[in-house]
Structure 1
Amino acid sequence: MTFELTGRSALVTGGTSGIGRATALALANLGAHVLVAGRDPRRGDEVVRAIREKGGKADFLATDLRDEDAARSLAARARELAGRVDVLVNNAGIYPFMATDETSEIDFDAVYALNVKAPYFLVAELAPDMAARGDGVIVNVTTMVAEFGMSGMALYGSSKAAVVLLTKAWAAEYGPRGVRVNAVSPGPVQTAGTAAMGDDLDVLASAAPAGRPGSADEVAEAIAFLATDRSSFVHGALLPVDGGRIAV
C-alpha cells in the first residue's frame, strides 16, 4: 500500500455508491482523509465504516446538490471538517435515458442542476482556495456519450459535454496557479445504478474493443491517478475509461 495522499483531504460527491464509493475507498487507501458526500446517510455511514475499518480516515457529509446554495454549503462544511479541500472529485450525477420529445422541463432542470450547476459552484467555492495555496486537484466525471451522439441520451450527454468544456476552461483558469483540472470519461460500468439496464448494458459495451462493461473500481483507479502527483504534468485532459469505445 502506498500513501501518496497522506495529509491531504478529498471531497467525493456521489460518494455513497458506484463509482463514487469505489473512488472514496481508493483515495482512502492512498492515505487521504475522504469526505464522502451524498444523500443517503445509511450508505454514507457504510462507506465511512469500510474506510475506517481499514485504518483510513473518512467522514460523511449529507447533501442534496440541487442548487448553488447547496454546493457552496457543502464546500464550507468540508473545509470546516477537514481544514481544507485538496482534491475535489465531481462525481455526483443522474443519467436518465429518454427521448427528447419525452423530456419535461422538470427532467431537464434536475439533470443540469446536479450534473452541471453543482460542480460549477463547488469549483467556484473551492478552486480559489486551492489557487491561493498554489496546489490542488479537481477531477470531473463525465461520460463517453458526451463525445458522440446516441439516441435517448441527448439530455444526459449534453449535460456531461458541458462538464468536458468546463474541465478545459477551469484548467486554463486555475492551472497557472497550481490547480490541476482533469476529467475521466467512463463507458458502460456495472453499478447498482446501471443494473436496471439489464442486457442493454452488455449490448452497449459490446461495441467497444474490450467487449465488456467496466467496473467501478477500474474507473476509480483512473480517478486516483489523476488525483495524485503521478499525473503532475496532466492538465485539462479527458481520460477515457470506456473499454476503447471512443476509439472505434
Structure 2
Amino acid sequence: MSRQHARTALVTGGNRGIGLETCRQLSRAGLHVVLAARDLARGQEAARGLRGAGGTIRVEELDVTSGKSVRECARRLADADVEVDVLVNNAGVYPTDGFLSMSEETLDHALDVNLMGAFRTCRAFVPAMARRGYGRVVNVSSGLGAMTDNVPSPAAYGISKAALNALTLVVSSAAPPSVKVNAVCPGWVRTDMGGSWAPTSVEKGADTAVWLAQLPDSGPSGGFFRNRRPIDW
C-alpha cells in the first residue's frame, strides 16, 4: 500500500493493550492511524512510542459511552478532511461479577461500553464508508460471549460480548458488500485486563484484528474469527 493511497484506521481504546498494539501493527503496515482514547493525555503519551513506525499517528479524544463525544470526534476528523476507512472497536471493560452478585449498574456499564460504544461509532462512521464504497469494521469481541459455549464468562461481560456479536451481524447485513464487518476473539491476552499470566502475547492478540482491518475486496463479512480462522458464534 503506497503512502499516497494509505487507508486511515481509527482504533478506540488505542492507548494501551490490544488497542495500542493494533495501532502499532497498522502503522507498520503503512496505514494512517487515529489513536482514539478517552483520556487525551494518555493517548498522546501512547502515540509518542508509535510515531515513525509507518503511517502517521493522530490522537483523538473519544469516549465511546458518550454519543456527543463520538459525534464531536467524527466532526473534527471531517473538518480536517480525514476519512475513516477502517474502524476497530476495541474499547472495552471486563467486570468479573457473577450473575447473582451483579448489580444493574455493572451490567449497564458493560453494555454501554462493550455494545453501545460500538453502536455509536458504527453509526458515526459506517454511513460514510458505504458512500465511498470502502470500509472495514472490526469489533473486538470474545469467545466468552459465544452462544455455542453457553456464554461461559463473567455475566455482564459475556452478555455484552454476545450482544456485540449480534451487532456485528446486524451492521454487516445493513452495509454494502464493499464494507466488511467482522468480530474477532483475540484470546486470553497478556494486558492490564487479561493479566500477566495470560498465555497469549499482545502481538498475537492483535494479529487477527489487524488482518481483518486489511481484508481484500474478496474477504469475508459477518464472521467471527480467532487466529485468522472462523469460529462459531
Task: Normalising by structure 2, report the TM-score.
Answer: 0.88
CA contact (8 A) 1:187 1:242 kept: no
1: distance between equivalents of 2:169 and 2:123?
15
Establish whether residue 181 from structure 1 lines up as the match of residue 167 from structure 2: no
- 3-state secondary structure, aligned to 1:65: coil
After the TM superposition, which of the residue ranges 33-42 and 229-238 deviates more from structure 2? Answer: 229-238
Partner of 2:205: 219
- The percentage of aligned residue pairs carrying the same residue is 35
Partner of 1:172: 173
Task: Normalising by structure 1, report the TM-score.
Answer: 0.83
Structure 2 unaligned regions, length at least 5: none
- 3-state secondary structure, aligned to 2:176: helix
Establish whether residue 193 from structure 1 lines up as the match of residue 193 from structure 2: yes
1: distance between equivalents of 2:156 and 2:140?
16
Within a 5 Å distance, the mapping from 1:1-248 to structure 2 comes to 6-81=5-80, 83-147=82-146, 148-149=149-150, 153-176=154-177, 178-195=178-195, 201=198, 213-230=199-216, 232-241=218-227
1: distance between equivalents of 2:187 and 2:54?
32
Q: 1:60-92 deviations in whole A, cap 9, x for unaligned?
A: 112222232222223323333452100000000
Q: Which is helix-richer, 1 or 2?
A: 1
CA contact (8 A) 1:24 1:34 kept: yes
Cα pair distance change 1:42/1:71, threshold 3 Å: closer
- 3-state secondary structure, aligned to 1:155: helix
CA contact (8 A) 2:145 2:152 kept: no
1: distance between equivalents of 2:107 and 2:202?
26
Question: Superposition RMSD on alpha carbons, in Å?
Answer: 2.5
